[in-house]
Structure 1
Amino acid sequence: MAVRQVIPPVFQLFIAICDCFTLILSKSFPVQIQIRIDNFTAMNDLTISELIKFHGEEQGDSPALIYAGNTTCYTELISMGQRAARGLSNLGVSHGDRVAFWLPNCPAYVVLYLACAQLGAIAVAVNTRFRSTEVADILSRSGATCLIIWPDFRDINFLQILEELDKTALQNLRTIICYGEEETPSELSPFPSQIEKITYSELVQSQPLLKNHSTPTSGCNIFTTSGTTKAPKFVLHTHQSITNHALAIWRNLEQIIDNGVFFHTLPFCGVFGFNHLSAALAGGKASVIQSAFDAIDAVALIDKYQVHYLSATDDMLLTLLDADLRDSAMPSLVCCGYGAFNLPAEEITKKARQKGVTLVGLYGMERSSGFVRKAIARAHPRTSILAGWKISFQAGQSSCAQVRTLEIYFPIIKVVSWSLKGQA
């Protein structure tokens, strides 16, 4: 497998030793320090296809996705992604095209995401809670040529919502891909007649496409962010930003996950949920997936698969704690990362303490990395982790409003619709 910009092991060792001395001087280390150089530390600037291919070669028969009692191994996942890539290519999807994912968590989401990544197409995340106004805005501004939906998910008529859109919002749309889990799907509704419609099951019957059409600098994800403007802002990520970030999260969670699995109930359409999915793929671990949050079912899955780590919003976590009637809730968890979005922090931390669940506060795009180290240090020997991003501290020379600020440079590109083609 081709690996770009590999750091020679001797320099890795030197950097790791320096990092250990930093820990010693800061007195922030536990009893034992380990220096570890493995395959992941050599990976830099990979495409998503290269990263997933690595795990296909290393552990092809290992579980990749677990959903509704069915297991898909890494070899099968890669094959399905390549078949979907061929199917998308036959529909005219190519490098730089935007494919909108208005889709709940399911294996098809992962397969189609890998297919887009292989083609160099850009996956545009659309929240399934969005309705006509938000969807019209995102489809129009992103210029999406393909839309993926689950037409009757939770008895919501997504095609009816599309029918209510201003037709100018659909002017770039050429294809709708319909996913369903019913024996007699209703996805091929006549609307809209001018747009080609195909089922997901038909798409993955194509012959595999083996060539990777992406590069590390190709765009691959667009997420929408809340902000001060009236419409959500678009953030375009490249393959290298996604893979580097996923590997960084995996390194931080590796000792907690250990030989276990990732559990996904947060939606993949947001960075909170997507980060967990990408970290699982980066670590070559299994992902247990819920299509929608159900607390009782989630507790049962956490027990069944002995989940060691979980991320959730505060209200989801409170619901999980209430759903588990045992004195010690979800006993397999080492810790749970959460974001305080809707409830006072004191309320959720008190409840978790009473139920024996260790909480870790998460913040920002990293979501599940830095603060988790505290929980790792309590339970495991410390492993030096090098993030690799540029950080500078310049007194009196800053682009920010205040001088003497810490500036962190992330590989994230903010774009608007008119510049998407150039960025791709």
Structure 2
Amino acid sequence: MAVGTAHAGTLNELLDARVADGGDDPALIQGDTRITYAEVAARVRRVAAGLARLGIGPGDRVAVWLGNDPAWIELEFALARLGAVAVAINTKYRRHEVEDIVGRSGARALVLPPTLGEIDCLALIADCDDEALAALETLVLVGETPAGDCYAGRSLASYAALDAHGEHARDEGTPDAPCMIFTSSGTTSAPKLVTHRQAALVHHALAAADAFGYRGAADTVVLAMLPYCGVFGFNTVMGAFAAGRPTVLLPAFEAGAAVAAIERHGVTHTNGADEMFRRILDAAEPVSRIATLREGAFANFSADAAALVDRAHALGIKLFQTYGASEVQALMVYAAAGSGPERWAVGGGTPSSPDTRVRVRDTETGRLLGPGESGEIEVGGPHVMVGYLGNDEANAKTFTDDGFVRTGDLGYMESGDTFVYLARLGDTLRLGGFLVNPREIEAYLESFDAIDQAQVVAVDTERGPRPVAWVIVSEGHHLDAESIIAACQADMAKYKVPVRLIATEAFPTTPSANGVKIQKAKLREQAQAEIDAGVSS
């Protein structure tokens, strides 16, 4: 059970409070469409009534497979109003993944558009295994009127028709009722179904609204350019809602569209993956087009964070790494007080909520560690998940006896609750008896003109675990692996020196709702195969 007893209400109580504070204020902006908080609340009550007529009630799960559309936000609040649970499906998923999530969640209904990019969504559902989707009774189509009332043996309804049956006046949700399921972004096993309760989402939205400054200025406008199906995108919108500020929705990220939205709507805040911000800065010609942008929090998935932060800082934009996960929500930390660009480029920070508790533990001895000592980050607080749906084994491994979440992340405490995130523990290298953050070696390698990007993994050798570096060679350069390794030997502890540099055109990646992640496990497997085959530098 999660740590923390701080009280927060239901999602609809939060929405009603925003209507009371400023019902005519814009809540959602998409293209030329502006929807006020009062209009959102009215739509939510009507959609809830329509869902109730479909038989959806307390505890039922409804899968939502949509892009960044106002309907997603309406559904989140409408399902919570019924005491039901929304199951977020990544828009990048295909048949096997959709079948798995809808099936394992036991969803009674699925809300979907006719197409998502090149995907024919209805045809995909028809191709799914009926036994796997045994609980699925109804398909709700968004953006198009169904040709009939049945498809692939299931009832077919129109989302537009849900609001034709009056309003569902009563909020049947409770603060402790589960209301949202996100998927974890694991790359080596089926995604876990991360379940959150209403009060956890409300508490965290209010905390993020304050910490990230959404509530602090009357001119705040937030750009939602991350997929709403992941916690990073979800928490961005919820923070804006908690502050009563407008959110500009991008249906899908494209740098030119993001720059145009910032310019047109006076966007002051946004969050995204590091590569999103690089593309925005590249596309902002002239740079005055993004003059209103004040702050952006990012997750660093690929390259040099310091260069990105410095580039933005020179333009008067504060970019900083934040921290989060599906299990503890995104926007969990804000930049440490009094810090500058050098610290902003480092993962971690100060918790958004004063009720969040962070500690670091030695995974081998179980000892809680002091400032500066690296170990596994553990997080407790009213914002953490209820647990993984239908997975008692994973819950037992993830929660400590006193209710903290074992994050699987390597980091260390600074002062108070401020901490530094270094890497995923699975990516951390144990070399020469020491825990080594691979980014340390990668950053050194990337300091050479010949190396554009580097990824370091550990392989087993006769002399114990040793690092191997995969590198993307800079355009117009030749990789002299021997001289670079010699430089490493002169500048680094021996156990950090790569035994081999392997050139590649691109790193293997996997998509997630929060960004594209490099598949370290695949790089490890391929590097081990090279070493086992007797290939040496």
- Worse-matched range after superposition: 166-175 or 325-334: 325-334
Aligned equivalents of 1:237, 1:214: Cα separation in 2: 13
- Structure with larger Rg: 2
* 1:197-346 matches, cutoff 5 A: 197-227=156-186, 230-254=189-213, 258-259=217-218, 260-327=220-287, 330-346=290-306
Relative to structure 1, the CA distance from residue 375 to residue 78 in structure 2 (aligned partners, 3 Å threshold; closer, same or farther) is farther
- Unpaired runs of 5+ in structure 2? 342-349, 370-376, 393-537
RMSD: 2.9
State whether residues 66 and 286 of structure 1, in contact with CA within 8 Å, keep that contact through their aligned partners in structure 2. yes
State whether residues 98 and 145 of structure 1, in contact with CA within 8 Å, keep that contact through their aligned partners in structure 2. yes
Relative to structure 1, the CA distance from residue 386 to residue 286 in structure 2 (aligned partners, 3 Å threshold; closer, same or farther) is closer
Relative to structure 1, the CA distance from residue 111 to residue 393 in structure 2 (aligned partners, 3 Å threshold; closer, same or farther) is closer
Aligned equivalent of 2:380, options 386, 409, 414 = 409
Aligned-pair distance for 1:206?
A: 2.1
Specify the SS of the correspondent of 2:160: helix
Aligned-pair distance for 1:61?
A: 0.9
State whether residues 49 and 114 of structure 1, in contact with CA within 8 Å, keep that contact through their aligned partners in structure 2. yes
Aligned-pair distance for 1:357?
A: 3.6
Aligned equivalents of 1:109, 1:255: Cα separation in 2: 21
Quote the residue 1:38 is aligned against.
Answer: none
State whether residues 211 and 352 of structure 2, in contact with CA within 8 Å, keep that contact through their aligned partners in structure 1. no
Aligned-pair distance for 1:111?
A: 0.9
The structure with the greater share of residues assigned to strand is: 2
Aligned equivalents of 1:130, 1:401: Cα separation in 2: 40
Aligned-pair distance for 1:348?
A: 3.2
State whether residues 328 and 356 of structure 1, in contact with CA within 8 Å, keep that contact through their aligned partners in structure 2. no
Which letter does structure 1 place at the counterpart of 2:151? Answer: P
Quote the residue 2:308 is aligned against.
Answer: 348
* 1:18-417 matches, cutoff 5 A: 44-180=7-143, 185=144, 187-188=146-147, 192-227=151-186, 230-254=189-213, 258-259=217-218, 260-327=220-287, 330-349=290-309, 351-353=311-313, 357-365=317-325, 367-368=330-331, 370-372=333-335, 374=337, 387-389=353-355, 391=357, 402-405=366-369, 407-410=378-381, 411-417=384-390
State whether residues 58 and 172 of structure 2, in contact with CA within 8 Å, keep that contact through their aligned partners in structure 1. yes
Aligned equivalents of 1:150, 1:298: Cα separation in 2: 23
State whether residues 122 and 220 of structure 1, in contact with CA within 8 Å, keep that contact through their aligned partners in structure 2. yes
TM-score, normalised relative to structure 1: 0.79
State whether residues 263 and 292 of structure 2, in contact with CA within 8 Å, keep that contact through their aligned partners in structure 1. yes
- Unpaired runs of 5+ in structure 1? 1-6, 8-42, 379-383, 420-424
Quote the residue 1:39 is aligned against.
Answer: none
Aligned equivalents of 1:327, 1:399: Cα separation in 2: 47
Aligned-pair distance for 1:417?
A: 3.0
Aligned-pair distance for 1:115?
A: 0.5
1:168-188 Cα shifts (integer Å, max 9, x gaps): 1221111111111xxxx3644
State whether residues 309 and 320 of structure 2, in contact with CA within 8 Å, keep that contact through their aligned partners in structure 1. no
1:4-54 Cα shifts (integer Å, max 9, x gaps): xxx9xxxxxxxxxxxxxxxxxxxxxxxxxxxxxxxxxxx932000111111
Aligned equivalents of 1:282, 1:244: Cα separation in 2: 9
Aligned equivalents of 2:364, 2:8: Cα separation in 1: 28
Aligned-pair distance for 1:349?
A: 3.6
Aligned equivalents of 1:331, 1:286: Cα separation in 2: 18
State whether residues 252 and 373 of structure 1, in contact with CA within 8 Å, keep that contact through their aligned partners in structure 2. no
1:219-257 Cα shifts (integer Å, max 9, x gaps): 001011023762111111001110001111001123686
- Worse-matched range after superposition: 67-76 or 147-156: 147-156
Aligned equivalents of 2:241, 2:216: Cα separation in 1: 13
Which letter does structure 2 place at the counterpart of 1:389? Answer: D
Aligned equivalents of 2:358, 2:304: Cα separation in 1: 34
Aligned equivalents of 2:237, 2:273: Cα separation in 1: 16
Aligned equivalents of 2:338, 2:68: Cα separation in 1: 28
Aligned equivalents of 1:50, 1:100: Cα separation in 2: 23
Aligned-pair distance for 1:373?
A: 5.6
1:280-305 Cα shifts (integer Å, max 9, x gaps): 11111111111111221211111122
Aligned equivalents of 2:89, 2:214: Cα separation in 1: 33
